[in-house]
Chain A
Amino acid sequence: MANAQTIARKPGRGLLVFKWTLLGPLFGLLLFILPAFLLQLYFSFHSWTIYLGSWWDAEFAGLGVFRDVLTDSRFWWAALRSLIFASLSTLGCFVAGFALAMAMHRPFRGHSLFYAVFILPMLTVPVVIAYTFEMLLFQRGPINGILSTILMTNVNVTWLAQPPIAVFTVIMLEIWNWTPFVFIIMLAGLSSLPPELDEAAQVLGASRWRIFSEVQLPLLRPVIMLALILRFLEAMGEFPKTWALLQGGPGSATETVPVYLFLTTWQYFHISRGAAMSYLVLIFMILIVLLGIRLLRREKQTIDAIHAKPGAGE
């Protein structure tokens, strides 16, 4: 790992100033935005909705607001929906992305065309995705049309009007949108595998499946972890597509945590409840991140150890 000792410039005030200049803008911005977080903290301990006078006169509620949120069954349902949405879409992205990366790993004619198309969804604005799929998903829309042609029967699925199907639809949209992300990461991972290992295993007569599961997969673990963690966290916060397409409906089938948070804060204007809720979400996310980071750091250390060249770094 790179290390300060490798650069032999004389330490001193100059260095300190230099270091702080590098960090300065970030600290400045964080300091600038800090009051917003403090205000949020204030709200989560004070009971305020917009109808109750000025916010600075709000009544101190202690942990009351948090208790409110924690006993709110709608919040827990939303959390459950978010977890289902995030896990399934992460899994879907991963399977699809990994499969694509495997198929695209070795070059063939037209490779770059395929590659260019496969990364397109990631470049598409989420709101655009929602509206485009709305055109496609009508009961009498092209997707049912194509399915009808392929399956030779009249396909009449209402993709957005029935709860389980609507959930499936938003999950598919998320997968469509973000598979390229996993695909790119996995492709980079695959191309970093030392080919010698593969050859050696082949010489030893290992089957393709064994080479994959016992040689390639373990080496890819850090990359896989990275893809899964990043994807899961981003999926937990997904809002534009779900909102533009379904606004939490049909019924409450797609009322995920971001949707419920949006409703609480921007439609019901229970700023305090929204603040408390968002802190709970934040804590939950941080727990996931910390867990993820632990895993990631362990993997990264392994990777660094494997790749450490003799003589470099320490």
Chain B
Amino acid sequence: MKKARLSRRSFLKGAMATAVTGPWVLRFRGVAEAGPLEDRIIAAAKKAGPADLNGMIWSLYYRNMKRLSDEFKEKAGVGVKDIQDLSIFVIPQRAMAEAVSRSPKIDFFHIDSNMIPSLASAGLIEPLDGYMAEVGYKLEMLANFPSFMKYKGKTYGIPTDGNVHIQYVRKDLAENPEEQKKFSDKYGKPLAFPKTWEDSLQIAEHFHRPDKNLLGYAGLRNRANGVTWWYMNFYSAGGFPFNDDLEPTINTPAGEYAMDIYLRHKKVSHPEAPNWGTPQMIPQFTQGNAATGQYWDGTARQIESDPKSKVKGKFLYGIVPGSTFSGKLVHRSISSPLAAVLVNRYSPRKRQAALMTLYWGTLSNSIEIVTHPTWVFHDPWHAGHMTHPKVIERYSAPAMDAIAKSMQITTPPIYLTGHIEFQDVLGKHIAEAYIGQITAKQALTQTEAAWRKLIAQIGKARLKEDLVSYKAAMPTVDLPS
């Protein structure tokens, strides 16, 4: 208790210090802007004093960032000493635990940006706008992608991995004349890259040959991740999970449609899908066992530049299918987890941590992270990545085109305080419906009931404020140009 107050006081002190020094720094910005961004960050970090940071980050991610933190340590005296090595899917929970204990031990969190509202509400994370202004850093991301890092008007994170979902179709299969004939005979239309979920399902159905070790469809259906796919079905049908009064609105025609599409994939999916995660599903793509699917964009890089890939050059890429359910064709991709670096407000080294974060986030440094010579997790996010030859080389031009287009139509999952619970409750019920424990309708009604309880607990007024940030992150375009 005493400690928490102390750290609150030290926070105030820190805030005051920034308020005092802020304008002073701003006055000299004209001079500072002369050098490149990296130099300004280094200069600011030098002034902040040396620091050894602790981060909560998955080693698989940190690997590509390590050289840059060593470099930053050498040039500016600020580096990463130790990491708490947890999987990206576990970090949200552990970061919340840090918010409970308000510990200053971990300086930065590498985490799904959809946790920003929850962590900001819990008081754990530090807004970065002050630091960004100080060194002249701008978030350069396509469309309204930057709003994924914002909450109530403040920027809380710098991305390192800009996940979007794109559509995968096996080129060699889809362009095989024999298959094309068989397909058009059966469905009365040519075998083309799918525009809608219905098209996509037909293609999956056509190629689903379990006896020949070919899956019609590869997408996650487990309790933790399946919900990510459901959002795309739901949003594209014109659905949004809440109305302005924060009444849940998934038990609606759009919700029923989404459940229907989601469940219809069962017959073209692997029987073990209810328990499969990325480790089992990605090899289905790279080993050539999957004919179609929607998946994170990083899989394209694995298909195209992993030496062990058996299907290099054998895939067509595009934006995920859309739906005409709302009367017009709407495409909605999803960004979850969108991995970003967030800074601990309780840390005495938060200033250095914020600058380290910005250093990782400059264009040239982030290109190094995204195109690390060996295999990486980080996917492009910076507007500059989309046209950079090094990045294109890793992903192939068609995939890069799909990624850039997807940024215009990508969505967040429920971007509200209490994200984990909103999502887990939804995911649980969808998973139950998928394996037949409850009906699709029950899944929707039960989720709504659980959400109402949760909304009452967190407080409607507070969540209404959050809703503004959530809506700001929703795309404005139905079909990317």
Interface residues of chain A, those whose CB is within 8 Å of chain B, are 47, 49-52, 54, 56, 138-139, 156, 158, 160-163, 166, 246-253, 255, 263, 266-271
Contacts and interface: CB of A to CB of B under 8 A. Distances in A.
Contacts of A263: 424
Nearest to B4: A54
By secondary structure, the B interface counts as helix
Given A253-B435, A268-B421, 12 more contacts: A47-B457, A50-B96, A50-B99, A162-B435, A166-B275, A249-B275, A250-B435, A251-B433, A251-B435, A268-B424, A269-B96, A270-B457
Given A50-B99, A54-B4, A263-B424, A163 B437 contact: yes
Interface of B: 1, 4, 92-93, 96-97, 99-100, 118, 121-122, 222-224, 271-275, 417-418, 420-421, 424, 428, 431-437, 457-459, 462
Nearest to B417: A51
A56 B1 contact: yes
A251 B271 contact: no
Contacts of B1: 56
B462 A251 contact: no
A199 B123 CA distance: 75
Nearest to B117: A51
Given A51-B458, A267-B424, A269-B96, A251 B437 contact: yes
B435 A266 contact: no
B99 A251 contact: no
Contacts of A266: 93, 96-97
B100 A271 contact: yes
A187 B258 CA distance: 58
Contact of B121 (A51, A160, A166): A51
Contacts of B4: 54
Contact of A139 (B97, B222, B271): B271
A74 B75 CA distance: 54
Given A247-B223, A250-B431, A253-B437, A49 B457 contact: yes
State the 4 A-B residue pairs at the shortest beta-carbon distance, nearest first. Answer: A251-B432, A249-B223, A250-B274, A268-B421
B178 to A, nearest CB: 29
B129 to A, nearest CB: 22
Contacts of A138: 272
Nearest to A255: B428
Most chain A CB within a 10 A radius of its CB, from B92, B118, B273, B435: B435
Contacts of B435: 161-163, 250-251, 253
A266 B90 CA distance: 10
A251 B434 contact: yes
Contact of B421 (A47, A163, A249, A267): A267
B421 A161 contact: no
Nearest to A271: B100
B272 A51 contact: no
B272 A139 contact: yes
A267 B223 contact: no
Contacts of A47: 457
A246 B275 CA distance: 7
Nearest to A134: B275
Given A50-B99, A251-B435, A253-B437, A267 B275 contact: no
Nearest to B99: A50
A265 to B, nearest CB: 9
B96 A248 contact: no
Given A251-B437, A253-B437, A269 B100 contact: yes
Contacts of B224: 247, 249
A300 to B, nearest CB: 42
A51 B118 contact: yes
Nearest to B430: A251
A209 B303 CA distance: 66
Nearest to B122: A50
A263 B423 CA distance: 12
18 contacts: A49-B458, A50-B122, A51-B121, A51-B122, A51-B417, A52-B458, A138-B272, A158-B275, A166-B275, A247-B224, A248-B223, A250-B274, A250-B275, A251-B433, A266-B97, A267-B420, A270-B421, A270-B457
Most chain B CB within a 10 A radius of its CB, from A51, A54, A56, A158: A51
B432 A252 contact: yes
A65 to B, nearest CB: 11
Nearest to A54: B4
Nearest to B5: A54
B421 A51 contact: no
B431 A249 contact: yes
Nearest to B100: A50
A251 B118 contact: no
A160 B458 contact: no
A249 B272 contact: no
Contacts of A255: 428
Nearest to A262: B93
B103 to A, nearest CB: 14
B82 to A, nearest CB: 23
Nearest to A270: B457
Contact of A251 (B274, B420, B421): B274
Nearest to A71: B453
